[in-house]
Amino acid sequence: MIPTQFDYVAPGSVDEALAALAQHGDDAKVLAGGQSLLPVLRMRLNAPEVVIDLGKIDALREIRDEGDTITIGAMATYQSILDHTGIKGSLRLLHQAISEVADPQIRHRGTLGGALVHADPAGDCGAPTLALEADLVIQGPSGERTVAATDFFEDLFTTAVGDDELLTAIRFRKHDGWGSHYEKFVRVAHQWPIVSIAAAVKVDGGTISEARIGLVNMGSTALRASATEAALVGAQATAEGVAEACAKAADGTNPPSDLNGDADYRRHLATVLTKRAVLKAAGG
Q: Which residues bind ligand FAD (CB under 6 A)?
A: 29-37, 39, 54, 74, 101-102, 106, 110-111, 113-115, 117-118, 120, 123-125, 161, 166-167, 190, 192
Question: Of the ranges 134-142, 169-177, 188-196, 223-231, which one interacts with another protein (CB under 8 A)?
Answer: 188-196
257 binds another protein (CB under 8 A): yes
Report the residue number, 87 or 269, with the smaller CB distance to another protein. Answer: 269
Min CB(120)–another protein separation in Å: 6
Amino acid identity of residue 76, one-letter, is: A
Residue 132 or residue 136: which is nearer to another protein going by CB?
136
Closest CA to 112 of 152, 163, 144, 143: 152
Type of residue found at 122:
A
Q: Is 185 in the site for another protein (CB under 8 A)?
A: yes
| CA-to-CA dists, residue 200 to 52, 54, 128, 264, angstroms | 36, 32, 9, 25
Cα(34)–Cα(221) distance, integer angstroms: 21
Q: Which stretch binds another protein (CB under 8 A): 14-22, 158-166, 207-215, 222-230?
A: 158-166
Pairing status of strand 69-73 against strand 63-65? antiparallel
Residue closer to another protein by CB (options 86, 140) is 140
Q: Considering the rule CB under 8 A, would residue 34 count as an interface residue with another protein?
A: no
Within residues 113-132, the interface with another protein by CB under 8 A covers 119-120, 122
Measured CA to CA, the distance from residue 179 to residue 145 in angstroms comes to: 30
> Whole-number minimum distance, CB 61 to another protein, in Å?
24
Helix/strand/coil (H/E/C) assignment for every residue in 70-105: EEEECCCEHHHHHCCHHHHHHCHHHHHHHHCCCCHH
Residue 21, CB half-sphere, CA atoms under 13 Å: how many? 21
DSSP state of 48: -
In angstroms, rounded to a whole number, what is the distance separating the alpha carbons of residues 216 and 218? Answer: 6
Residue 167 interacting partner from another protein, ligand FAD, none (CB closer than 5 to 8 Å by kind): ligand FAD
Q: Return the CA Rg of the chain.
A: 19
d(CA 236, CA 212): 16
Near another protein by CB under 8 A: residue from 34, 95, 261, 274: 261
- Binding of another protein at residue 250 (CB under 8 A)? no
Q: If contact means CB under 5 to 8 A according to the sort of partner, which of ligand FAD, another protein, none does residue 176 touch?
A: none
CB of 114 to another protein, least distance (A): 13
The three-class DSSP label of residue 265 is helix
CB half-sphere exposure, 141, CA atoms < 13 A: 9
- Residue 81 near which of another protein, ligand FAD, none (CB within 5-8 Å, type-dependent): none
Determine if 254 is a binding residue for another protein (CB under 8 A).
no
Binding site for another protein (CB under 8 A): 1-2, 4-5, 26-27, 29, 36, 39-40, 42-48, 119-120, 122, 155-159, 163, 185, 187-192, 194, 256-262, 265, 268-269, 272-273
